[in-house]
Structure 1
């Protein structure tokens, strides 16, 4: 196979891979369904400082879907506060009890808050925070609010990378000037 065909094929595969990865990430980030998950994890943008210093505003919280019986005092949990599950809160479990009907309930509190939240029924708990990524929450928030501008920035970035790649490949092919 000729070098130019290999180069073109490599560039095409790279470009298609980037489009698929970025497209999948955007589709996931923009999907309004509260039930979306990847390999048992959901991702949520941290919108307030209520969990500082454990979680900071603008971070992306990685929440593992967890059954209530596996949640312990001290775990940071994400739970739904709206009936449709689109509004969630992430706070630390400070108590785990059983109500008068025999159902598990959690008392939660933000690390930066002075008061304990109202009891959270086990059915409302989505899962336990297993990690967080700085800044990514801000990026996802920007993409949600400015989808067209974000898409244009991504396309421009891909074109710049391709242009730089082609320029550097062109410099390598130039024969040395005999002196």
Structure 2
């Protein structure tokens, strides 16, 4: 969607299980926004496709790209590397397209340093119990991984204060509406 001006960059972060992926996918589809595909060293989950859901890289491939300066941001999360390739973002913004980055909180702050106009949105659940329920409901992670994600979520919640707005994901409908409103206001 080219408007003849530079696109807007939205960063969506928050703990695992907060519903970021679901909300971003629905809003992206509804508004025709590109979700920049991240790179990761974690194994694909069932149904995930390389190049669509993530660029699945070996640790060696990831570190080579990092050394070459190809990442806008990157971090180690839950024992795996995750990062956003500069090429995924810069060309789209220059062509007037809005871009959503669904990334961890550390990466969100790295992006804000390079793109001061980026709009940072923090997602979380209403309670820690709800977060644990969602993580267990996925049925994709081991108990050890769930416990690691729960511990990390407490650390991630400390970053909320650096974000422009927080969306408490009570329902998919409410959260989609809240994110859509932010993006639609940015387009005016």
TM-score in terms of structure 1 length:
0.28
- Bigger relative contact order, structure 1 or 2 (CA pairs below 8 A, ≥6 apart): 2
Larger of the two Rg values belongs to structure: 1
TM-score in terms of structure 2 length:
0.27
